[in-house]
Amino acid sequence: MKRALIVSGGYAPHQPEACGEILRGLLEAEGMTVRHRLTLDAYDDEDLAGYDLIVPNWTVGEISVPTAKRIWAAVAGGVGLGGFHGGMIDAFRNSDRFRFIAGGSYVAEPGAICRYRVTIAAGGDPITEGIGDFDYRSEQYYMHMDPAVTVLATTRFTAAPYPWLEGVAMPVVWKKPFGLGRVFVSALGHGPQEFDHPQMRRILLRGLLWACR
Structural domains in the chain, sorted by start: 3-211 (3.40.50.880)
3-state secondary structure of 200: helix
What pLDDT, on a 0 to 100 scale, did the predictor assign at position 116? 97
Q: Is 47 exposed, middle or buried (0-12, 13-18, 19+ CB in 10 A)?
A: exposed
Q: How confident is the model at residue 159 (pLDDT cuts 50, 70, 90)?
A: very high
Average pLDDT on 194-212 reads 98
Question: Quick one: pLDDT at residue 28?
Answer: 98
pLDDT at 96: 97
Going by C-alpha positions, the residue among 129, 150, 136 that lies closest to residue 203 is: 129
Question: Could you give the CA distance from residue 116 to residue 190 in angstroms, rounded to a whole number?
Answer: 14
pLDDT at position 61, please?
96
**Of all residues in the chain, what percent carry a pLDDT higher than 70?**
100
Q: At what angle do helices 16-29 and 198-211 cross, to 10 degrees?
A: 70
179 in helix, strand or coil? coil
So what's the pLDDT on residue 122? 82
The dihedrals phi and psi of 88, each to the nearest 5 degrees, come to -115, -45
The pLDDT confidence band at residue 211, using thresholds 50, 70 and 90, is very high
Percent of the chain with pLDDT over 90: 99
Among candidate residues 93, 95, 35, the one with its CA nearest the CA of residue 70: 95
- What's the confidence (pLDDT) of residue 95? 98
Query: Looking only at Cα atoms, what is the longest distance across the chain?
Result: 51
Q: 52 near 3, Cβ under 8 Å?
A: yes
CA 59 to mean position of chain CA atoms? 11
Phi, psi of 97 (to 5 degrees): -65, -45
Q: What is the pLDDT of residue 46?
A: 98
**β-sheet bridge partners, residue 207:** none
- Find out whether 7 and 43 touch, Cβ atoms under 8 Å: yes
Q: What pLDDT does residue 210 have?
A: 98
Does pLDDT of 16 surpass 90? yes
Residues 84-111 have pLDDT tens digits of: 999 999 999 999 999 999 999 999 999 8
Q: What is the pLDDT of residue 85?
A: 98
Gap between the Cα atoms of 108 and 114, Å rounded? 13
Distances (CA, A) of 199 to 88, 99, 127, 167, 173: 19, 26, 11, 23, 12
User: Mean pLDDT over residues 45-67, rounded?
Assistant: 98
Instruction: Please confirm whether the linkage preceding 66 is cis (ω < 30° from 0).
Output: no
